Amino acid sequence: MDFIPSEEHAMIRRQVRQIAAGFDLDFWRDSDKHKRYPHEFFDAFAAAGWLGIAIPEAYGGSGLGIVEACILLQEICASGAGTSGAAPIHFSIFPPMPVVKHGTEEQKRAYLPKIADGTMKLGFSITEPDAGTDTTRITTRAIREGDHYIFNGKKIWSTNLQNADRTLILVRTTPYEEVERKTTGMSLFLMDLKSPGITIREIEKLGRHAVDSNELFMDNVKVPASDLIGEEGQGFYHLIAGLNPERLMVAAEAIGIGRAALDLAVKYANERIVFNRPIGKNQGIQFPLADAYSKLEVADLMVQKGAWLYDQGMPCGAEANMAKLRAGADAFEACDAALQTLGGMGYAKEYHVERLWREIRLYKIAPVSQEMCLNYIGEHVLKLPKSY
C-alpha cells in the first residue's frame, strides 16, 4: 500500500489551487448574492484544459480518471468556491461520461472536443416532479417519427440550463406500463436546449444562487434520432454506470467545502477574544472542529478508495455510497460546527460560512439522498431485505 500522492496528483492539486485562488471569497459571496453565474471562473479552468480531465485524449481531453476528477473538484471547493464553483465544472465532467462510453464515433467527434474546451456547456435532466428517488417513474415521453423523436413532458431541478447548450436527458421511449422490467424502456439523449417547444424556468432555492436549477418543460420538441446516446431502451443502464463516479465526485466536493469552512472557523477561533482569551482555547469550540476534521479525513480515504476502484474497472458501489453518505453528513457537521464557532458572525454574509452552510445542505439530498445511500448499504452490502 502506498499513501504518498504521486507527483502528478500533487501537481494537479497545486495547480487547481492556484487557479482557484484567483477568485476570492468576496467573488463567491457576490456571485451568490447577485445570482451571477461564474463565467470567468469557468473560462479560467477551460483555458487551462481542466474541463477535459476525464475525456479521452483522442477527443481533446486528458484521459485521466475519477481519482483526478475528485482532486480537481475537491480543491475547487476547498478554495471556498463551494458548489458555486464546483457545479459548472462538474457539469463538464459528469454528463459527457455516457457519451464517452456509449456514444457513436460521430457523436464523440461532434461533442467531446467542444465540451473539453468549454465551448459547449451541459446540463443533466433526470429528476421529474413525480420521479425523484424512483427514477423508473419518469413519464417524459419520446415517440419516434422518422429520423427524429417528439418529446413531451416535464423535468425538475435540471441544473445549469440557463447557460447550457445541451442537456443529457432521460426519457421514456416505452411507457412504464408497457415494459416487462421497469428499468427498461428509458433512453438517453443529448438534447439541444435551443429546440422550439422548450421552456426553462428557474427555481428559487436555499443556496448556490450563482448556479441555476430549473424546471424544464417540453411541448412537442423535435429531437433528431442522431442525438440518442447508446441503445434505445437501455438509457437507465447507460446512466447508472456513471452514478458511482458522480457520488464519489460529490463526496470529494463535500469534503472540500467542509475543509474550507473549518479553515475559516480555525482562523476565527484563534483571533476572536471573548472573556480575555481566544475562543479556540475552549474545548467546547475546539473539539467539534477537531471531530469534524477527523471525520472529513476518514471520508476522504473512502472517496480515494472508491475512485481508485472505479478507475481500475472494479466494482465500487459500496464505496461510492459509503463515501457519499459519510461526506454528506460529515461535511454538513463541519460547516455547522464552523458556523457555531463564529457565533453571530456565522450568520452574517460577510464571514462566508453561512454560504457554505447553505450550499453543503444540498449534498444530503442530491444527487442521491442519504436515505438511498443507507438503503444501498443495507440491501447490497449487509444483505438485508430490500426495504421499499
Ligand X SMILES: Cc1cc2nc3c(=O)[nH]c(=O)nc-3n(C[C@H](O)[C@H](O)[C@H](O)COP(=O)(O)OP(=O)(O)OC[C@H]3O[C@@H](n4cnc5c(N)ncnc54)[C@H](O)[C@@H]3O)c2cc1C
Query: How many residues can be counted in the chain?
Result: 388
Helices and strands (H and E) in the chain: how many: 13, 10
Binding of residue 386 to ligand X (CB under 6 A) = no
The number of beta carbons lying within 10 Å of the beta carbon of residue 141 is 16
How do 166-172 and 198-202 pair as beta strands?
A: unpaired
Q: Shortest gap between Cβ of 16 and other proteins (angstroms)?
A: 9
Site pattern 204..233 for ligand X (x: CB under 6 A) = -x-------x--------------------
Span from 8-16, 65-73, 189-197, 371-379 in contact with ligand X (CB under 6 A): 371-379
372 binds, among ligand X, other proteins, none (CB under 5 to 8 A by kind): ligand X
CA 154 to chain CA mean position, Å: 21
In this structure, what C-alpha cell is assigned to residue 201?
A: 424556468
Comparing CA positions, the residue from 111, 145, 102 lying closest to residue 234 is: 102
Which one of 150, 179, 345, 366 is in contact with ligand X (CB under 6 A)?
366
Which one of 107, 127, 173, 304 is in contact with ligand X (CB under 6 A)?
127
Half-sphere exposure of residue 248: CA atoms within 13 angstroms, side-chain side: 31
**CA–CA separation, 340 and 332 (whole Å):** 12
Backbone angles phi, psi at 18, to 5 degrees: -65, -45
Q: Shortest gap between Cβ of 277 and ligand X (angstroms)?
A: 40
Binding of residue 280 to other proteins (CB under 8 A) = no
- Interaction with other proteins in 200-219: which residues (CB under 8 A)? none
Which one of 18, 133, 199, 294 is in contact with other proteins (CB under 8 A)?
18
Q: Shortest gap between Cβ of 8 and other proteins (angstroms)?
A: 6
**CA–CA separation, 93 and 115 (whole Å):** 9
Which one of 11, 273, 274, 301 is in contact with other proteins (CB under 8 A)?
11
Binding of residue 56 to other proteins (CB under 8 A) = no
Which one of 28, 31, 42, 52 is in contact with other proteins (CB under 8 A)?
52
Which one, 51 or 299, has the nearer CB to other proteins?
A: 51
Cα-based distances in Å from 321 to 63, 243, 246, 308: 25, 10, 10, 14
Binding of residue 126 to ligand X (CB under 6 A) = yes
Which one, 60 or 230, has the nearer CB to ligand X?
A: 230
**CA–CA separation, 221 and 226 (whole Å):** 15
Q: Shortest gap between Cβ of 367 and other proteins (angstroms)?
A: 25
The number of beta carbons lying within 10 Å of the beta carbon of residue 276 is 5
Backbone angles phi, psi at 380, to 5 degrees: -90, -25
By three-state DSSP, how is residue 171 classified?
strand
- Interaction with ligand X in 156-185: which residues (CB under 6 A)? 157-159
Which one, 132 or 280, has the nearer CB to ligand X?
A: 132
Q: Which residues bind ligand X (CB under 6 A)?
A: 124-127, 132-133, 157-159, 205, 213, 362, 365-369, 371-372, 375, 388
Q: Which residues bind other proteins (CB under 8 A)?
A: 7-8, 10-12, 14-15, 18-19, 47-50, 52-53, 62-64
